[in-house]
């Protein structure tokens, strides 16, 4: 290895939004000598090859991971266990295995038992993304000024953690280390619950009237067409979040069930309290709460996490999570 | 009047985000001969004068509305009735009175009884805005490619409706006419419920740990600082919405109570169903719902309402609603 190279050969398993962004970022910064790739879907493999973002594309998982000193599993979290099992006999001694899933406790549980002695499992999660999916949606700047959280199990090899951290820093991220359980609770409130709520409100709106009517009707029926038309009043921001990958999010909710249900319970209590304040005309309670929430926004802006992205004419976006 | 002038003298009552944006848009397009202004807050008046966005600033409501052929009430909706009462004896015959509130039924009820014979009350609502408040936050392009909804009461003067429509078109908006009750139901789902939910989740997160801790703790406690730090996972979009003006939104929820509570009821049912699917590991139900919501996003993008705004480094934004 020479220059900024952190790994000789990185294998990326799953070349969707995140996997393809990692491939691009590694290439752009020259962080690896070779980027190998496998995706279970042959059509996705072909699309990634056409994009020319990896050095070698492999029809088999074994072919991709062979001789790799870093394997990045970038599949939906529900698939991590099966991937670990399928590649276990093909891993090079001393290799580091990581992932990018939004849930970490379940990844440790699913991959740990299939990780051979002498291979370092260090689960990870870049807190970055967009609502778009597929290899074409990725871009090399996705991780810049975002956090990459690593959740090494107790007793993990410190040199391996340092090397993986160095890769993420090379892609522009700030690296944070925490334990998997804590990660899952933090993400339950900062990411999983927001997505769950966004999905729900969009579904609620979609159910208002399944027939898309050409004209607004001056009666009680609110049509889905009207919801879309007047979405600039706030709804549209939820539709963006609710356009995220369905498989990824199904897995997240099922695999972080306990923390999600707990945060959802707190949210439901708070929503019921607000509902009661509206019903009983308690303007003071509403005003007090709406003032308090402004502080949090200020904190987000001050922390540099308010976003720095750009919508184009057709509503595409960059650098969003 | 000459050229593109639609009104001789427009009086803007309340010079916050919306009022000041109207003043700027009218000036930029030369839609009125004179823009007069009054705000109940003397400090806001001084700030608006410093911005040089109106032709005359008046210490009294009466002074601003005198001789105006259009009065735009751009106060929080809860203040509309008092404004109508206070200005009733100072209105010029044939004048048009409109407003910009996010609730329309209550505006008709509050302002109607105080509108003199020969004056045309035509409530209105530009579906546009940002999370920022105050005269400095306004900009003339706010209404471009957004909808302005007018809710003229039955029997309203058609010429007056046409003239007000022409002003909004001059500011770049598409004008839609509907009845007040229907407006309030549409906005309950496209705007009011999204804001209510965003306020709630931000409050839920704020309550996790009131002490802002310097370091993340590897235990059960998730701190507010961590929520802010990792907000790029979805939460940050909610904080933006939840930074909107507290007085405005208190009034909206109290004055559109019935429609908001109904939509909230539907949302809560749907959320409970999703909660149950998570608890019982019903991955198929989650996948089906998450796939369906993607369609709505496509509709929003196709309707040109997905937004076309830009975040700057410090998280400010433009052209958002």
* pLDDT beyond 90 at A119: yes
Rounded to the nearest angstrom, the minimum Cα separation between A28 and chain B is 23
Rounded to the nearest angstrom, the minimum Cα separation between B231 and chain A is 5
**Mean local confidence (pLDDT), B8-32:** 97
C-alpha to C-alpha distance for B224 and A186, rounded to whole angstroms: 10
**Mean local confidence (pLDDT), B55-81:** 97
| 3-class DSSP state of A146 | coil
C-alpha to C-alpha distance for A212 and A206, rounded to whole angstroms: 10
- Among A82-91, B224-233, B248-257, B299-308, where is mean pLDDT lowest? B299-308
Judge whether A289 is closer than 8 Å to chain B, CB to CB: yes
CB within 8 Å: B267 and A204: yes
**CB burial string A120-130: b at 16+ within 10 A, e below:** bbbbbbbbbbb
The answer for residues whose C-beta is within 8 angstroms of residue B289's C-beta and 6 or more apart is A199, A203, B274, B277
Q: Which one is predicted more confidently, A320 or B87?
A: B87
* pLDDT beyond 60 at A11: yes
What is the structure's pLDDT at A273? 95
C-alpha to C-alpha distance for B238 and B197, rounded to whole angstroms: 8
What is the structure's pLDDT at B220? 66
Q: Which one is predicted more confidently, A221 or B100?
A: B100
Whether B101 and B123 have beta carbons less than 8 Å apart is answered as: yes
Whether B81 and B74 have beta carbons less than 8 Å apart is answered as: no
Whether A151 and A104 have beta carbons less than 8 Å apart is answered as: yes
What is the structure's pLDDT at B316? 39
DSSP for A206-255 reads HTS-SS--SS--SSSPPPHHHHHHTGGGTHHHHHHHTTS-HHHHHHHHHH
CB within 8 Å: A290 and B242: yes
What is the structure's pLDDT at B209? 64
**Which of B293, B309, B312 to mutate to probe the A interface, most A CBs <10 Å?**
B293
CB within 8 Å: B321 and A239: no
What is the structure's pLDDT at B26? 98
What is the structure's pLDDT at A207? 82
Whether A46 and A40 have beta carbons less than 8 Å apart is answered as: no
Per residue in A278-288, pLDDT (tens digit) is 999 999 999 99
- Among A203-207, B1-5, B161-165, where is mean pLDDT lowest? B1-5
* pLDDT beyond 90 at A277: yes
Element spanning A34, H or E: strand A32-38
What is the structure's pLDDT at A167? 98
Give the CATH number of domain A183-302: 1.10.3660.10
Q: Count CA atoms closer than 13 A to B42's CA, side-chain side.
A: 1
C-alpha to C-alpha distance for A126 and A132, rounded to whole angstroms: 16
Judge whether A229 is closer than 8 Å to chain B, CB to CB: yes
Residues of B in contact with A309 (CB under 8 A): 311
C-alpha to C-alpha distance for B75 and B270, rounded to whole angstroms: 35
Per residue in A280-310, pLDDT (tens digit) is 999 999 999 999 888 888 888 887 777 543 3
Rounded to the nearest angstrom, the minimum Cα separation between B72 and chain A is 20
What is the structure's pLDDT at A318? 35
pTM of the model: 0.86
Whether A69 and A61 have beta carbons less than 8 Å apart is answered as: no
| 3-class DSSP state of B315 | coil
CB within 8 Å: B314 and A291: no
Neighbour-count burial of B124, counting CB atoms closer than 10 A to its CB (0-12 exposed, 13-18 middle, 19+ buried): buried
The chain-wide mean pLDDT, for chain B, equals: 90
What is the structure's pLDDT at B318? 35
Judge whether A147 is closer than 8 Å to chain B, CB to CB: yes
**Which of B181, B220, B263, B296 to mutate to probe the A interface, most A CBs <10 Å?**
B296
What is the structure's pLDDT at B301? 83
DSSP for B30-41 reads T-EEEEEEE-S-
Chain B residue at shortest CA distance from A222: B186
pLDDT category at B219 given cuts 50, 70, 90 is low
The answer for residues whose C-beta is within 8 angstroms of residue A146's C-beta and 6 or more apart is A126, A127, A128, A172, A173, A174, A321, B232
Nearest by CB to residue A228, choosing from B260, B296, B314, is: B296
Q: Which one is predicted more confidently, A55 or B295?
A: A55
* pLDDT beyond 60 at A320: no
Judge whether B77 is closer than 8 Å to chain A, CB to CB: no
Per residue in B119-171, pLDDT (tens digit) is 999 999 999 988 899 999 999 999 999 999 999 999 999 999 999 999 999 99
Fold for the domain defined by A7-178: Rossmann fold (3.40.50)
Percent of chain B with pLDDT over 90: 75
* pLDDT beyond 90 at A214: no
- Going by C-alpha positions, the residue among A109, A131, A129, A111 that lies closest to residue A121 is A111
Per residue in B160-215, pLDDT (tens digit) is 999 999 999 999 999 999 999 999 999 999 999 999 999 999 999 888 864 434 44
Helices within chain B (DSSP H only)? 17-29, 42-51, 61-65, 80-87, 105-111, 158-170, 180-187, 193-206, 224-229, 235-241, 246-255, 257-279, 283-302
- What residues form DSSP beta bridges with B68? none
Nearest by CB to residue B203, choosing from A182, A229, A270, is: A270
C-alpha to C-alpha distance for A19 and B75, rounded to whole angstroms: 49
* pLDDT beyond 80 at A216: no
Q: What are phi and psi of B222, to 5 degrees?
A: -95, 125
CA–CA distances in Å: residue A52 to residues A37, A66, A106, B72: 12, 21, 33, 57
- Going by C-alpha positions, the residue among B162, B140, B154 that lies closest to residue B30 is B140
- Going by C-alpha positions, the residue among B43, B41, B97, B42 that lies closest to residue B68 is B97
What is the structure's pLDDT at B299? 84
* pLDDT beyond 50 at A213: no
C-alpha to C-alpha distance for B28 and B49, rounded to whole angstroms: 17
What is the structure's pLDDT at B277? 97
**Which of A181, A218, A296, A320 to mutate to probe the B interface, most B CBs <10 Å?**
A296
**Mean local confidence (pLDDT), A261-280:** 96
pLDDT category at B315 given cuts 50, 70, 90 is very low
Judge whether A237 is closer than 8 Å to chain B, CB to CB: yes
Helices within A92-245 (DSSP H only)? 105-111, 158-170, 180-187, 193-206, 224-229, 235-241
- Going by C-alpha positions, the residue among A181, A172, A81 that lies closest to residue A127 is A172
What is the structure's pLDDT at B311? 35
Is the Cα torsion angle B42, B45, B49, B54 positive or negative in sign? Answer: negative
Judge whether A184 is closer than 8 Å to chain B, CB to CB: no
**Mean local confidence (pLDDT), B15-34:** 97
Whether B242 and A296 have beta carbons less than 8 Å apart is answered as: yes
Per residue in A98-112, pLDDT (tens digit) is 999 999 999 999 999
C-alpha to C-alpha distance for A140 and A131, rounded to whole angstroms: 16
Domain residue extents for chain B: 7-178, 183-302
Pairing mode, if any, of strands B147-150 and B124-126?
antiparallel
CB within 8 Å: B201 and A267: yes
C-alpha to C-alpha distance for B75 and B93, rounded to whole angstroms: 23
Choose from A15-24, B195-204, B215-224, B301-310 the range with maximum mean pLDDT: A15-24
N-term to C-term CA, chain B: 33
* pLDDT beyond 50 at A311: no
C-alpha to C-alpha distance for B277 and B271, rounded to whole angstroms: 10
| 3-class DSSP state of A24 | helix
Residues of A in contact with B218 (CB under 8 A): 178-179, 182
C-alpha to C-alpha distance for B5 and A236, rounded to whole angstroms: 34
C-alpha to C-alpha distance for A147 and A175, rounded to whole angstroms: 6
Residues of B in contact with A127 (CB under 8 A): 230, 232-233
pLDDT category at A63 given cuts 50, 70, 90 is very high
What is the structure's pLDDT at B156? 96
**Which of A100, A183, A200 to mutate to probe the B interface, most B CBs <10 Å?**
A200
């Amino acid at each position: 290895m020479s220059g900024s190279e952190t790994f000789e050969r990185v294998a990326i398993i799953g070349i969707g939004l995140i996997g393809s962004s990692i491939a691009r970022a590694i290439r752009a910064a020259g962080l690896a000598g070779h980027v190998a790739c496998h995706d279970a879907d042959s059509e996705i493999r072909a699309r990634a090859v056409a994009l020319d973002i990896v050095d070698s594309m492999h029809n088999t998982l074994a072919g991709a991971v062979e001789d790799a000193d870093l394997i990045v599993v970038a599949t939906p979290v529900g698939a991590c266990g099966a991937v670990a099992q399928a590649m276990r006999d093909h891993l090079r001694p001393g290799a580091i295995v990581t992932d990018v899933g939004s849930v970490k406790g379940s990844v440790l549980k699913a991959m740990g038992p299939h990780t051979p002695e002498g291979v370092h499992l260090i689960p990870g999660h870049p807190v970055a993304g967009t609502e778009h999916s597929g290899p074409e949606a990725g871009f090399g700047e996705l991780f810049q000024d975002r956090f990459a959280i690593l959740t090494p199990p107790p007793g993990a090899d410190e040199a391996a953690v340092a090397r993986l951290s160095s890769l993420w820093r090379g892609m522009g991220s700030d690296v944070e280390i925490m334990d998997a359980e804590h990660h899952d609770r933090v993400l339950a409130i900062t990411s999983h619950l927001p997505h769950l709520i966004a999905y729900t409100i969009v579904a609620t709106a979609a159910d208002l009237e399944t027939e898309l009517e050409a004209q607004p009707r001056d009666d009680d029926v609110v049509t889905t067409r009207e919801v879309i038309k007047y979405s600039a009043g706030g709804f549209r921001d939820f539709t963006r979040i609710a356009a995220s990958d369905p498989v990824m999010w199904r897995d997240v909710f099922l695999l972080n069930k306990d923390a999600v249900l707990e945060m959802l319970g707190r949210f439901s209590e708070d929503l019921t309290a607000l509902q009661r304040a509206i019903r009983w005309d308690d303007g003071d309670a509403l005003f007090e709460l709406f003032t308090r929430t402004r502080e949090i926004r200020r904190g987000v802006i001050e922390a540099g996490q308010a976003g720095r992205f750009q919508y184009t004419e057709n509503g595409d976006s960059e650098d969003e999570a």
